[in-house]
Chains A and B, each alone.
Chain A
Amino acid sequence: MTRRFAGAAAVLLSVTLAAAAAHTSALDRVPARFRLRPNPFQGTPEAAAAGAKLFARHCANCHAPGVTGRFRGPALNSFQIRHAPPGALFWVITNGVVRRGMPPWAKLPEAQRWQIVTYLTAGPAPPPR
């Protein structure tokens, strides 16, 4: 019984780590100097609320949980995203992951990209209005 439980736990851990790796692989490629960029809106509730609105408008079509299909991106409400360096998230939003289907979002002004980062790294946030 204990062995079966340990086996199931190992499988669960592997799946979790694999999922985490899939989510963070784009973040892993962020150049070090960009990771260190501070978020000018860090901890600002208004920026998180604005980020929630922008996320719903521009990102949720691919990144909402339960979205399936050819252009589905990973859901972003994970521990890895919440605790990623803000500069790394900003870099991925700006540059996209073009070969894997995510377009660059540099068409959004820099402030709006930081607002989305603020939303992604904030604690439980109110749903966008």
Chain B
Amino acid sequence: MLCAFAPWLSAQESPYFVTYDHHLEEPGSLEVEYFSTFGSQRGGDPFLAPWLELEYGVTAWWTTELYLDSQSTFGQSAVFTGYRWENRFRLLDQEHRVNPVLYLEYENITAADKILKEIEGNDVESDFLEPNASANRQTIHELETKLILSSDVKGWNFAINPMFVKNLGAAEPWEFGYAAGLSRPLALAASPRRCSFCRENFTAGVEIYGGLGTADSFGLPNTSHYLAPVAAWNLPSGWTVHASVGFGLNNDSHQILVRWGLSREFPGFGRLLSALTGGKP
């Protein structure tokens, strides 16, 4: 009865682009994700910033992820802007009303990075006016930490991520930011047939994110904030399509951030890795 094993299968992916919920990658699974951000730019050229994520479930309580960032500013150039190494650790074994996950990320990027995966400190739209040629020469080493607090109630997910960022290469104060999201599948029960367009395959929601200043100047002045409807379409073939349109909430924000992405999970990757390294297949 259980011989229905398929070599590729899919998981239920979160629709969020910036907010994290507490659900980690399944152990042994590799998820390959391609995302892109298109941003408007007042006083300058709009940009398209694609990035690749390789997300691996090391254990049921630890997920590690590598990001490769790039961007193309219209009328200027296309540049590789660095990498990020992210780790998320589930702090409690079982599900609770609120589930905490610790997030630690090391970033080695340049000032030309525009994926806007997080907004921190006093990040504002005018920071992105610097031409690629000079911005891509300024390297930034950052430690980014988050406490992911997430809850699932009656099909809804609610998550909030306070963020604390330290520039390791400069004597700058800690920077703060936040992200919060709310989402729900369009149908809670699954239909008995395999289908691409069943409502259960679609998840929709909204997220809000922005900066909160620094340890020296905590607060909302000179910060940017966004409100973004989000959606994900989980296909039975294992692919997930993601989309979001973010709207700037003040004059220091980009007016619009359009994001989209495509991801695919490879659940047998851990076994393949074990076999290739001489372990038990």
Contacts and interface: CB of A to CB of B under 8 A. Distances in A.
Interface stretch (A7-15, A16-24, A51-59): A51-59
Contacts of A54: 190
Nearest to A44: B192
Given A64-B4, A129-B194, A109 B185 contact: yes
B93 A98 contact: yes
Contact of B4 (A68, A95, A112, A127): A127
Nearest to B155: A109
A60 B6 contact: yes
Contacts, number: 146
B90 interface: yes
A23 to B, nearest CB: 13
Given A102-B60, A129-B194, A94 B95 contact: yes
Contacts of A70: 27-28, 270-271, 274, 279-280
B280 A60 contact: no
Contacts of B271: 68-71
A111 interface: yes
Nearest to A58: B11
Contacts of B9: 56-58, 60-61
Interface string A89-114: 00000111111111110111111100
Interface residues of B, number: 49
A107 B190 contact: no
B233 to A, nearest CB: 15
Interface in B26-83: 26-29, 57, 59-61
A38 interface: no
A71 B270 contact: yes
Given A71-B28, A71-B271, A65 B2 contact: yes
A82 B274 CA distance: 32
Contact of B189 (A61, A71, A100, A111): A111
Contacts of B279: 70
Contacts of A69: 28, 270-271, 274-275, 280-281
B95 A57 contact: no
Contact of B27 (A55, A101, A115, A127): A101
30 contacts: A46-B192, A49-B192, A50-B192, A54-B190, A55-B2, A56-B5, A57-B236, A58-B12, A60-B9, A61-B5, A61-B268, A63-B2, A64-B5, A70-B271, A70-B279, A77-B1, A98-B94, A102-B60, A103-B27, A103-B60, A104-B60, A107-B12, A110-B155, A111-B188, A111-B189, A111-B190, A112-B189, A115-B189, A115-B190, A127-B4
